[in-house]
Amino acid sequence: MRQNIYLSNISLNEAIDIFLEKIKDFKLGREYVKTYGANGRVTAKPIFAKISSPFYSCSAVDGIATVAKKTFTATDKNPVRLKEGVDYVVIDTGDPIPDEYDCVIMVEDLIWVSQDEVEIIKPAIPWQNIRQIGEDIVEGQLILPQSHRIRPVDIGALIAGGVFEVEVYKKPKVAIIPTGTELVEPGEELKVGDIIEFNSRVFAAQVEEYGGIPTRFDIVRDDFEKLKAAVDKASKEYDIILLNAGSSAGREDYSKKVIETLGEVYIHGIAIKPGKPVILGKVNNKPIVGIPGFPVSAYFIMENIVKKLINFVQGYDIKDKRYIEATLSKRIMSSSKYLEFVRVKLGFIDGKYIAAPIERGAGTTMSLVRADGVLEIPEELEGYEKGTRVNVNILKSEDEIKNTILCIGSHDLILDIAADLLAKRGKFTLSSAHVGSIGGILSLKDRETHFATIHLLDVETGEYNKSYVKRYIPNRKIALIKFVKRIQGLMVKKGNPLEINSLEDIVKKGARFVNRQKGSGTRILLDYELKRLGINPKDIIGYDREEYTHISVAAQIAKGNADAGLGVFSAAKIMDLDFIPIANEEYDIAIPVEYLELEGVKQFLEVINSEEFKNELDKLGGYDYSNLGEIIIIE
């Protein structure tokens, strides 16, 4: 097995320029649509007013039309009296001004002396409260330029200007072809090795937002002829083709070969991360993009290339990324060979924006769900130091970010539950970045988070969290809010066939153990308990066998590859294992005392102290909330 593993490494902007230049002769059709149905469409030519608006002089207010000269002497002391039919007519907003009158006095300025007589106490000036012909729009005036995306307000101006139909570009029809032998449709029975196909569904929603009409093809297996047939058909019936995945250079990546056979490949590989193995080409004179399979890579290709493409074919240059300046909460390294897109959480702390980088893996759809923004690290840089002021492309509004309570620290899914209950109240959002307990404490020290969630066992004292806060954050007065005790226990096969009821039993029964990696909280807790109980780790079979997550420990036991492992209740529950509680891990909130006064923090604390939240904890199981809400001030 050998394969061509070399892709080009051209810059994103250069790649886009080349691609758009190559496809610039591709033309979308045009059509006339009713103006009232034209929202979001792109004008195919400039649009000029056919009539003036207003097309006659009319009143801008409710009142009376009169002659200004007759009012010139009016004062508080010497009011001028006017008679209906002789000096004035009553007029409503929008009514035409009769030729004999030259001004309108608004109803609020009239003193009624009888049914048909008014007095006024200040002079009117000619033309006051009169909308002149063409005041809004003059016949022949340009209302909209070409290649303009029509907005609701534009519809008003167009109709007011007598334009009831507009010539717009046809929406580009976009074919989305999912390819991959491992892909299955949602709802099909899953076996190991299957991947539920969802990228095409994300693309379809994105294409619609970008202004195209998506059509999703059936999944095509990794088969050159089948893929070729699908692309050929798509290129004849659609304006743009998206092929996902098979854009890399692996054994079964046929995208490039198919495009080369049917048309031309202009670019294969762009210096961005994630997203490098993209293909840009043309088949039957239609632009085609081969999009990588990892969902995060795919997202950035959609946002940075396909969005531009869909707008370009309508003559529209999209420039809608929004940026804010934020302080980076931790050092971040990046290869100087790539433009890298780093997902970040954003908060507004002590008057400045803070950007906390989150997972960088290309496969994690949740990192996109969680991201508040994207930091773009240019090709020429090797990253940024902690504390650097950086520009962040924001995915939320600034108002939303300002109403976000930022939590940096160790993650637990009860944070998501609390976030949901907080969101339900309408105003504030909880955003959490997962960097572990020590990372959270360092962010607190550097004023980069509202609070940190921590679970740090002091192996000298057996006490959780307190000593760490004291040692690491000498510069701030911190409140330690007791949150929950997480029950750590031994996970064993359903029915507990080896009758394991304690750590001692592991040794006694000769059970095959599966451990967590060094440095993890669970490993530290295990070592502390073993020492306390006087158990020698060497006597445990499998002590050296490390897994990296609670759930992979549970999976090994479920598969029968091990008999026991230490972990949290939820992992045992998911893998349908028995669970024997061993010790409690104290998961607490460390927060600067002054932030206790913030409205968002107050609401968050109300949420976690509520019965509703405790009910949710009961439903999950594995949590002890007997001390929840206790506050210890650490100075």
51 binds a second copy (CB under 8 A): yes
351 binds a second copy (CB under 8 A): no
Closer to a second copy by Cβ: residue 434 or 466: 434
Q: Binding a second copy by CB under 8 A: which of 21, 119, 218, 317?
A: 317
Tell me 597's DSSP state. G
Per-residue binding string, a second copy, 204-243, x by CB under 8 A, is xxx-xx----------------------------------
145 binds a second copy (CB under 8 A): yes
Site for a second copy in 488-517 (CB under 8 A): none
Spatial distance between the Cα atoms of 465 and 210, rounded to a whole number of angstroms: 48
Site for a second copy in 548-567 (CB under 8 A): 548-549, 551-552, 555, 559, 561
Q: Supply 42's token pair.
A: 């792109």
CB of 218 to a second copy, least distance (A): 14
Could you give the strand order of the β-sheet that contains 111-114, starting from the edge strand earlier in sequence?
Answer: 80-83, 117-120, 111-114
Is 310 in a helix, a strand, or coil?
helix
Say if CB 589 and CB 480 are below 8 A apart.
Answer: yes
Q: Supply 367's token pair.
A: 């990192």
CB of 473 to a second copy, least distance (A): 30
CB of 186 to a second copy, least distance (A): 4
Please confirm whether the linkage preceding 245 is cis (ω < 30° from 0).
yes
Tell me 42's DSSP state. B
Closer to a second copy by Cβ: residue 162 or 383: 162
381 binds a second copy (CB under 8 A): no
Site for a second copy in 165-204 (CB under 8 A): 180, 182, 186-187, 190, 192-193, 195-196, 198-199, 201-204
- In the chain, the amino acid numbered 193 is G
Q: Supply 460's token pair.
A: 């000298």
The b/e string for 476-485 (b: 16+ C-beta within 10 A; e otherwise) is bebbbbbbbb
Rounded alpha-carbon distances, angstroms, from residue 370 to 298, 335, 373: 17, 24, 9
CB of 248 to a second copy, least distance (A): 7
Closer to a second copy by Cβ: residue 3 or 388: 3
Say if CB 306 and CB 34 are below 8 A apart.
Answer: no
Closer to a second copy by Cβ: residue 1 or 633: 1
Q: Binding a second copy by CB under 8 A: which of 169, 238, 254, 299?
A: 299
Closer to a second copy by Cβ: residue 190 or 459: 190
Closer to a second copy by Cβ: residue 152 or 495: 152
Q: Binding a second copy by CB under 8 A: which of 10, 15, 23, 57?
A: 57
Q: Supply 276's token pair.
A: 């490098």
CB of 459 to a second copy, least distance (A): 25
CB of 438 to a second copy, least distance (A): 21
Size of the site for a second copy (CB under 8 A): 128
Q: Supply 585's token pair.
A: 């891990």
Select the span of 146-154, 236-244, 465-473, 525-533 touching a second copy (CB under 8 A): 146-154
Closer to a second copy by Cβ: residue 36 or 72: 36
573 binds a second copy (CB under 8 A): yes
Q: Supply 210's token pair.
A: 């970008």
Q: Binding a second copy by CB under 8 A: which of 10, 23, 44, 53?
A: 53
CB of 585 to a second copy, least distance (A): 18
Is 521 in a helix, a strand, or coil?
helix
Per-residue binding string, a second copy, 410-439, x by CB under 8 A, is ---x--xx-xx--xx-xx------------
Spatial distance between the Cα atoms of 571 and 103, rounded to a whole number of angstroms: 79
- Residue reference for tokens 């240059």: 317
Say if CB 262 and CB 273 are below 8 A apart.
Answer: no
Closest CA to 227 of 288, 185, 179: 179
Q: Given the DSSP bridges, would you call strands 389-394 and 323-328 parallel, antiparallel or unpaired?
A: antiparallel
Site for a second copy in 66-105 (CB under 8 A): 90, 92-96, 99
Give me the DSSP letters along 69-118.
GGGTT--SSSPEEEEBTTTBEEE-TTPBPPTT--EEEEGGG-EEEETTEE
CB of 119 to a second copy, least distance (A): 14
Is 242 in a helix, a strand, or coil?
strand
Per-residue binding string, a second copy, 20-39, x by CB under 8 A, is ---------------xx--x
Q: Binding a second copy by CB under 8 A: which of 76, 77, 78, 153?
A: 153
CB of 324 to a second copy, least distance (A): 10
Rounded alpha-carbon distances, angstroms, from residue 586 to 4, 331, 469: 52, 28, 14
